[in-house]
């Protein structure tokens, strides 16, 4: 009962934050950045100077003796799937007043889902890092983004390491049609070019990496007792050891650089976020980049 009350309080708090963030301007930016890429045939009309020659319908032109072009309208509707990592490492929060990485990811997911609802788009959810994976099929409406938020906050970690291969397999099984796929994770699992490439070939993948600043740069905090959230292994560590902190930073940088290289090789637009920062500037920049690409 106490847990349910706590989840409902967090749902209300994050929902209010998301609704404040999604202004009319941002919803419009979302629409232009995440619009459907397809074209549906509308009707024939007579050719006028300036029309694209590639849209001339030669059969109708031959039959009528007058050039006609095919007129299209943009296929607006596009499903958005939010793939959210709920593994144990996502529950880490670097300070007493700081949200966990999972709550930070939940706010981003709710902001996107609420924007999709305002634009009449379907949104679905896949939670991985839990056992079994949780899947909520894409649907429209205001209730959907609340279902998404509540499902993320009430999830529990599996207690075992997730692999990117298992996540990709699950997405490929549940999503038969091309989908706009936003993956929110700390990406602590090893990269796999084959799996990510297969996923991006079928769908339109946008990875959003969420990390706590302390994960990237350990503080000089002296001796402490720690626990590995993924394996539950307990150990002691002396964070006043400068070489240890330097080695940790080096390994973390190498790991995420490997992910960045993979995304760059596959031409996948991606963003990296810290859980103590405002993510909205990064989202706006992402939408603007997408809008420019769609206008080319």
pLDDT in tens, 68-102: 777 654 455 678 999 999 999 999 887 655 789 99
The reply to whether 45 and 111 lie within a common domain is no
Query: What is the C-alpha to C-alpha distance for residues 225 and 238, in angstroms, rounded to an integer?
Result: 9
CB contact at 8 A, 289 and 295: no
Q: What is the pLDDT of residues 175-228, one digit of tens each?
A: 988 899 999 999 999 999 999 999 999 999 999 999 999 999 888 888 877 777
- The CATH number for 235's domain is 3.40.50.410
Pull the structure tokens for residue 255: 């790991």
The reply to whether 66 and 182 lie within a common domain is no
Number of compact structural domains in the chain: 2
Query: What is the C-alpha to C-alpha distance for residues 147 and 233, in angstroms, rounded to an integer?
Result: 34
Pull the structure tokens for residue 81: 């799937």
Query: Residue 136's pLDDT is what?
Result: 96
The reply to whether 241 and 283 lie within a common domain is yes
Q: Among 140, 152, 86, which residue's Cα sits nearest to residue 113?
A: 140
Query: Residue 294's pLDDT is what?
Result: 63
Last residue of a domain, one of 74, 90, 122: 74
- Domain that includes residue 231, residue range: 2-34+77-294
The reply to whether 56 and 159 lie within a common domain is no
Q: What is the pTM (predicted TM-score) of this model?
A: 0.83
Measure the CA dihedral 213/81/147/141, to 10°: 130
């Amino acid at each position: 009962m106490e847990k349910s009350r706590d989840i409902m309080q967090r749902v209300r708090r994050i929902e209010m934050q998301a609704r404040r963030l999604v202004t009319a301007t941002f919803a419009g930016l979302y629409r232009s950045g995440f619009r459907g890429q397809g074209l549906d045939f509308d009707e024939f009309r007579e050719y006028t100077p300036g029309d694209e020659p590639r849209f001339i319908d030669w059969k109708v032109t031959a039959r009528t003796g007058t050039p006609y072009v095919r007129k299209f309208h943009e296929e607006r509707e596009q499903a958005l799937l939010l793939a959210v990592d709920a593994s144990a490492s996502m529950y880490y929060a670097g300070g007493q007043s700081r949200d966990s990485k999972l709550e930070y990811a939940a706010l981003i997911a709710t902001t996107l889902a609420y924007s999709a609802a305002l634009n009449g788009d379907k949104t679905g959810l896949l939670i991985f890092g839990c056992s079994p994976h949780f899947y909520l099929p894409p649907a429209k409406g205001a209730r959907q983004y609340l279902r998404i938020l509540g499902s993320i906050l009430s999830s529990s970690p599996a207690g075992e390491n997730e692999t990117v291969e298992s996540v990709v397999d699950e997405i490929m099984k549940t999503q038969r049609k091309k989908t706009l796929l936003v993956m929110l994770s700390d990406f602590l699992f090893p990269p796999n070019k084959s799996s990510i490439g297969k996923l991006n070939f079928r769908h339109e993948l946008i990875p959003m990496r969420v990390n706590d600043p302390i994960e990237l740069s350990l503080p000089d905090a002296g001796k402490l007792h720690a626990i590995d959230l993924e394996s539950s292994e307990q150990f002691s560590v002396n964070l006043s050891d400068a070489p240890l902190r330097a080695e940790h930073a080096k390994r973390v940088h190498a790991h995420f650089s490997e992910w960045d290289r993979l995304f760059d090789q596959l031409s996948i637009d991606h963003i990296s976020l810290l859980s103590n920062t405002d993510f909205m500037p990064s989202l706006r920049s992402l939408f603007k980049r997408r809008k420019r690409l769609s206008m080319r």
